[in-house]
Amino acid sequence: MTTGILLQIVQTLIAISLAPLFMGWVNQCRAWLQGRSAPPVTQPYRTLKKLFNKDAVVARNASPLFRFAPYLIFACMALAAGIVPTIANDLPFSPAADVIALVGIFALARAFQALAAMDIGTAFGTLGARREMLVSFLAEPALLMVFFNASFISHSTQLPVIVAALAHREFAIYPSMAFAAVAFWMVSTAENARIPVDNPTTHLELTMIHEAMILEYSARHLALIEWAVALKLFTYSALGIALFIPWGIAPRGDLTALPLAILVLVVKLAAGGALLSLLEAISAKLRLFRAPEFLGTAFLLAVLGMLIHFLLEV
Amino acid sequence: MPLAYHLQFINLLAALLLLIAFAMLSQRRIVGLVTLFAWQGAALSLATAIVAWSTGQHHLYYSAGLTLVLKVMVMPWFFYRLVKRLDVNREVEPMINIPTTMLIGIALVIFAFNLAMPISQMAGTVMRSTLGIAMACVLLSFLMMITRSKAITQVIGFMAMENGLFFAATSATYGMPLVVEMGVALDVMIALFVLGIMSFQIRESFDSMDLKHMESLKER
């Protein structure tokens, strides 16, 4: 149990500290693919440091919710990062929340983000919040369906059990997971505000979704939100790794596999980040009203994966 | 007990065929459609080759080779040229919007899986469970032919349907005799050329590739 708690703490700290680095790596890959000279990998840390050292400016009519939201969003993402197995499978936190609760935690953070965006009452904040809700209410069921694909194979909605079933049993190819993987990529672009659903680097307010919601934040609040965004991307990548390439995560009660697990995680994240930026580089941003169609496709693919599971894998 | 790895791989390729069939349904641009068609041919050819290797049915190697040459190289090349010559890259709005088409597609897949279940129980092949996927591919290509209005998209749908039929034959009975398959391949080639020439004729007469114009053929 003590090793479990220790592992839990180590893993959460790794996620929190590595998340900006991962973001920097994705940005660097993207810059390379676009033929620009890339910012250093550590740029997100510098941005965070700069933001934390500034004085926060808050609008006069902001309610306490507006100040409180960044902390809550960051806490939600840190909790989510603690639930997803990244290096070890023996996590005391995990039984507290299965994948359905995980989706709920993401939803909680998103609801507060949207509320805070509407709280100030600027046009862009409200616009961003509405768009975010439009995208997310379509992304959530698709994400759940992706999880259910994995649950059918492992007969559980607990992430450690899913990982154990997929990684530590005899190797098998699951065609249903191929569908789930495509659907998962589509959902994660929507949830993490990346191309093709949203452009994280846009400066044009009319095309923003996520950025429009955080326009009014500054200094430490903005830093926390940026960090939470990086953490969310990290958590989603960890989820993708846990569901689709789980090999290398240390099994329960095996501490000797831990150093290797960390090494494997770094390699997988590096490859995953490169793949993510490649997919972003080759796709164009969708019009907002194409986003429901895009996410509908993700949902259908996940459902199709379940059908395939019953046809081929039972 | 898990299946042998080559069977699992065939299952994966079968799932990939279905995935590509859905991608074709949702594709708006004709060039993208042709690329997807080529990929479907490649997956089909690989699946056939693995079946040939695992069951020792040598004639399937020829089928796989034929598929590779015809459906991955010759036909896509021909389609690319046709699209370029006709200058019709953008498909106008399909008759039913794409999300609805996808929903109908899911319903068709469920129908096909149920339809194939009793048949696949009777088949004696190792990969009989993929028959449902093959049926679904046929029905989805058929749906594409129905819901699209451009002649060239319908031709691609027709060719994709042939892919599905070929896969159905392979999964139910290890493929048709080689003579039949050669005949079908030749037929498809001829159909391709005839339809290619036809599309030029259609454009000559109607100034458009849209087959809706052909509904009003009667003399005024």
Kindly list the domain boundaries of chain B, sorted by start residue. Answer: 5-90+97-210
Inter-chain touch B102–A292, beta carbons under 8 Å: no
Q: Residues in chain A whose beta carbon is closer than 8 A to a beta carbon of chain B? A: 170, 172-173, 175-176, 178-179, 182, 292-293, 296-297, 300-301, 303-304, 307-308, 310-313
A97-119 pLDDT, tens digit per residue, is: 888 998 999 999 999 999 998 88
What mean pLDDT is predicted for residues B62-77?
87
User: Can you give the pLDDT at residue B220?
Assistant: 52
User: Can you give the pLDDT at residue A176?
Assistant: 86
User: Can you give the pLDDT at residue A314?
Assistant: 66
For chain A, list residues with pLDDT below 50. Answer: none
Q: What percent of chain B has pLDDT over 70?
A: 89
Inter-chain touch A175–B109, beta carbons under 8 Å: no
Q: Which two tokens stand for residue B170?
A: 């392979």
Shortest distance between the Cα of B28 and any Cα of chain A, in A, equals 12
The per-residue DSSP string of A117-185 comes to: HHHH--HHHHHHHHHHHHHHHHHHHHHHHHHHHHHHHHT-S-HHHHHHHHHSS-----HHHHHHHHHHH
| Model ipTM over 0.90 | no
In 3D space, the residue among A74, A14, A71, A54 whose CA is nearest the CA of residue A229 turns out to be: A74
Determine contact, residues B80/B156, Cβ cutoff 8 Å.
no
pLDDT-based confidence at B128, cuts 50/70/90? confident
Cα separation, A70 vs A65, whole angstroms: 9
Residues from chain B contacting residue A293 (CB–CB below 8 Å): 26, 98-99
Cα separation, A24 vs A33, whole angstroms: 14
Query: Regarding predicted confidence, which is higher, B212 or B110?
Result: B110
Residues from chain A contacting residue B5 (CB–CB below 8 Å): 173
Whether the per-residue pLDDT at B1 is higher than 50: the answer is no
Chain A residue closest to B23 (CA)? A297
Whether the per-residue pLDDT at B2 is higher than 60: the answer is no
Cα separation, A94 vs A97, whole angstroms: 6
Cα separation, B145 vs B153, whole angstroms: 7
Cα separation, B73 vs B122, whole angstroms: 35
Determine contact, residues B132/B116, Cβ cutoff 8 Å.
yes
Shortest distance between the Cα of B4 and any Cα of chain A, in A, equals 9
Chain A residue closest to B115 (CA)? A311
Determine contact, residues A77/A232, Cβ cutoff 8 Å.
yes
Cα separation, A16 vs A238, whole angstroms: 12
Q: Which amino acid makes up residue A244?
A: F
User: Can you give the pLDDT at residue A74?
Assistant: 93
Matching residue, tokens 């069939």 = B21
User: Can you give the pLDDT at residue B25?
Assistant: 87
Q: Which of A173, A303, A304 sits opposite B8 (nearest CB)?
A: A173
